[in-house]
């Protein structure tokens, strides 16, 4: 009888230990996922605030953007020139065709009764 109760006690302690580690692993996974999403959200919000300052300059007409083609011909190096402070700032490297104006959609000719 004592052997059965000893086994039962051992099994209960093993189950308790296993449940404890299972709870630790599950809660740490939740903490990592929540922490990563908070970190990414914070980076996106800060990036929005930082980009908002440069966009404000272009809205006021203070800056001009210069695109210089790279050797491959498809990528351009963009430089932003501030007219007020006479500073040129390297912006980014992107496709050259994105700065070309988009063609306007033509409306089909409509029939009118000689007006």
| DSSP line for 36-82 | HHHHHHHHHHHHHHHHHHHHHHHHHT-EEEEEEE-TTSSEEEEEEEE
Same domain, 52 and 85: no
**Please, what is the average pLDDT of the chain?**
80
Predicted local confidence at residue 86, as pLDDT: 78
Mean pLDDT of 85-89: 81
Instruction: Give the number of domains in the chain.
Output: 2
Sheet of 75-82: strands edge to edge?
A: 63-69, 75-82, 87-95
In a domain, residue 77? The reply is yes
Least confident of 15-19, 77-81, 98-102: 98-102
Same domain, 21 and 8: yes
Closest residue by Cα to residue 70 from 88, 101, 87, 94: 94
Q: Is 19 left (phi over 0), alpha (psi -120 to 50) or beta?
A: alpha
Which residues span the domain enclosing 75? 61-106
Same domain, 53 and 2: yes
Predicted local confidence at residue 60, as pLDDT: 61
- The answer on pLDDT for 61 being more than 80 is no
């Amino acid at each position: 009888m004592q052997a059965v109760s000893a086994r039962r006690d051992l099994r209960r302690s093993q189950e308790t230990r296993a449940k404890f580690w299972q709870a630790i692993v599950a809660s740490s996974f939740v903490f990592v996922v929540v922490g990563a999403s908070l970190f990414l959200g914070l980076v996106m919000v800060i990036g929005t605030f930082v980009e908002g300052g440069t966009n404000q300059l272009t809205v006021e007409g203070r800056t001009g953007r210069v695109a210089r083609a790279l050797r491959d011909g498809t990528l351009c190096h963009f430089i932003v020139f501030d007219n007020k402070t006479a500073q040129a700032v390297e912006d980014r490297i992107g496709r050259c065709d994105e700065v070309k104006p988009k063609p306007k959609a033509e409306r089909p000719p409509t029939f009118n009764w000689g007006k």
